[in-house]
């Protein structure tokens, strides 16, 4: 029997804790399924997870897609609940849902009613608008962070080596953090993992900031400037896992089937000295000119005859 599988998502920890947005999404999705005549078979959610996260890194979405059967419908409040990322993430999720014989519909419609040319265009436009919104938020956040950093003001978590001034706004050097980075670098050079370093730091007299109970491997990575490369590698692994789930695997690079022609051999003669062309071996050289015969040689030849 055809059924609906409801998927809910919020992107911030505050929304996830309050749960108001999740409840509102579920109510709208259930009302939409009722209008479509679809019984709700299951409800799955991802509280506090970004829409840019690949499917295999979202437990709720992974479970929702796995619950789909032929003819079923994955229902969400709008398309941004399913994906708010680059077109590759969108294509992977749509491809896996389609491979199960199911389809995606959202309570806000957004072109999910059919596969007509107009609906397909509407879906792509809504996805592009969602991606633009995400990128705009990131751009504004980055600009605000840079402005505060230039003004010496606090932004987010207080960096190690600094502490909050008495005015509660600006940052000043923290002498108690002196030698922290050097200690982490030394432990790393000795072969300790980031987690082992996090466990060793309290014994060296270094306490985590912001009232945290213990160090984390991410904090240690941040000290060494390794957070961005680490997150990029993690995202690459998640994308590879999502591609593998739909039967798409990276193609190993093979030699170029049409390599460029080899360069011409270098000339053995200098460009300043013109070379004399050598006749080919197969060409016969003309015979040398014959000298005129002497009279004595001619008479002796006649007598011999």
- As to burial, measured by CB atoms within 10 angstroms (0-12 exposed, 13-18 middle, 19+ buried), residue 156 is exposed
What is the structure's pLDDT at 270? 44
User: pLDDT category, 73, cuts 50, 70, 90?
Assistant: very high
What is the structure's pLDDT at 151? 78
Q: 32 versus 88: which is more confidently predicted?
A: 32
CATH fold, domain 4-133, is Rossmann fold (3.40.50)
Domain ranges of the chain: 4-133, 162-245
Dist. CA 88–CA 16, nearest whole Å: 26
Q: Assess whether pLDDT exceeds 50 at residue 57.
A: yes
What is the structure's pLDDT at 234? 64
User: pLDDT category, 74, cuts 50, 70, 90?
Assistant: very high
Which 8-state DSSP code applies to residue 107?
Answer: T
Beta-bridged to residue 7, according to DSSP, are 44
The dihedral formed by the CA atoms of 172, 174, 180 and 182, expressed in degrees to the nearest 10: 60
Dist. CA 174–CA 153, nearest whole Å: 15
Gyration radius (Cα) of the chain, Å? 38
């Amino acid at each position: 029997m055809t059924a609906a599988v409801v998927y809910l998502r919020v992107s911030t920890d505050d929304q996830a804790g309050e749960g108001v947005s999740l409840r509102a999404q579920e109510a709208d999705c259930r009302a939409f399924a009722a209008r479509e005549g679809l019984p709700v078979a299951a409800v799955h959610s991802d509280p506090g997870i970004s829409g840019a996260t690949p499917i295999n890194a979202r437990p709720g979405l992974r479970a929702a897609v796995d619950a789909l059967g032929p003819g079923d419908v994955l229902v969400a409040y709008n398309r941004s609940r399913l994906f708010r990322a680059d077109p590759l993430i969108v294509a992977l999720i749509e491809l896996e849902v389609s491979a199960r014989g199911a389809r995606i519909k959202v309570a806000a419609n957004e072109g999910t009613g059919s596969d007509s040319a107009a609906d397909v265009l509407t879906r792509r436009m809504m996805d592009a608008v969602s991606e633009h919104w995400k990128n705009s938020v990131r751009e504004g956040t980055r600009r605000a962070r840079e402005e505060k950093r230039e003004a010496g003001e606090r932004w987010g978590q207080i960096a190690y080596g600094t502490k909050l001034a008495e005015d509660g706004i600006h940052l000043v050097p923290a002498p108690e953090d002196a030698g922290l980075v050097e200690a982490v670098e030394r432990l790393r050079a000795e072969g300790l993992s980031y987690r082992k370093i996090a466990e060793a730091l309290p014994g060296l007299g270094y306490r985590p900031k912001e009232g945290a109970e213990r160090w984390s491997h991410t904090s240690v990575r941040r000290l060494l400037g390794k957070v961005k490369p680490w997150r990029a590698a993690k995202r690459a692994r998640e994308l590879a896992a999502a591609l593998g789930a739909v039967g798409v695997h990276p193609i190993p690079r093979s030699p170029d089937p049409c390599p460029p022609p080899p360069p011409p051999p270098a000339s053995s003669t200098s460009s300043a000295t013109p070379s004399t062309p050598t006749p080919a071996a197969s060409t016969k050289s003309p015979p040398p000119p014959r000298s005129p015969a002497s009279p004595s040689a001619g008479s002796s030849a006649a007598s011999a005859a």
